[in-house]
Structure 1
């Protein structure tokens, strides 16, 4: 995603155009997030819950941990 800016490539400005295009698609609801659940702050209990959910094999989409 950010390779151009990380390596300061000659076409670095193209990243802004790509992000603007994706933002337009999200606003037009043509692209949806795969987020299914926000679990809360990072602590032992939340990590245990997230790990169990992933290990179960039934999780669809992304889980989010907050508080980095």
Structure 2
């Protein structure tokens, strides 16, 4: 089995399970996990970056949060 075969199987799997995957990404559990990860990443970025970009970091964190979970 070559790389192309594995990629095609992956595409098939995603297409066949699109609804289940979407439900999982927008679940309460995904919301909790994503919040923890995004909060940690934003806190780290704020420690490293100048204070002048804190607002932009929060904005990007909130945009990413809107894509995963149910809130």
More helix by share: 2
